[in-house]
Amino acid sequence: MIVTNSLAVSDEPLVSVGLQRHQIPLLKTGVELYELSSNRLKFDRTFKGLLGASTGRLHAKIGLLDRETVLVGSMNLDPRSANINTEIGVRIESPRLAEMVFAVLKVDVLAGVYQVKLRPNGVGVRWIAVDAGNPEELDVDPDTSLWQRVRLMLLSFFIPESQL
């Protein structure tokens, strides 16, 4: 399971280009992908409470692997963080801790997120609001304008992935 900021709430929108390049392969391998939406957070007091003052934007780096391993730290999973920035990350192999973290981060039932899924034909992705009370399916990045998406697409041709 991966939970990240949506394009609309990212403080560095170009980073989403790096994720978009890997969304389909990740989804095809069975990874569950979720994106935080500041507009949808107004429906979800639980998630809003977990984020505190940073409501609308995730900065935490917490990973759960196979419900046995927890990754936590300041490091982004990108080449820049690995090779240029001063970052740290810790891997803890503890099924008990992993289950506790998973229980707290029950993202798959919270209203403040969209689940990113493959389109039925397997080409491209779709954003689906998680909560049943406010159903919504989108074929474009949530809470973004056409201009934002076009601008990002044009800029993506000039930014190497190693710098995202």
Task: Name the strand (E) or helix (H) holding 127.
Answer: strand 125-129
The number of C-alpha atoms within 13 Å of 14 and in the hemisphere containing its C-beta is 12
Q: Which two tokens stand for residue 24?
A: 């389909």
Average pLDDT over residues 19-46: 79
Name the 3-class secondary structure at 93.
Answer: strand
Tell me the C-alpha distance between 159 and 140, whole Å: 22
In the prediction, which pLDDT does 111 show?
Answer: 65
Among 161, 129, 137, 153, which Cα is nearest to 35's? Answer: 129
Express each pLDDT in 81-125 by its tens digit.
Answer: 777 777 788 899 999 998 888 777 766 666 678 889 999 887 899
Express each pLDDT in 134-158 by its tens digit.
Answer: 668 889 998 889 999 999 889 888 8
Q: Which residues contact 139 (CB under 8 A, 6 or more apart)?
A: 119, 124, 126, 127
Domain count, the chain: 1
In the prediction, which pLDDT does 56 show?
Answer: 47
In the prediction, which pLDDT does 159 show?
Answer: 79
Q: Which domain range does residue 46 map to?
A: 2-163
* pTM check: above 0.85: no
In the prediction, which pLDDT does 93 show?
Answer: 94
In the prediction, which pLDDT does 164 show?
Answer: 64
Point out the least confidently predicted range of 16-20, 36-40, 124-128.
Answer: 36-40
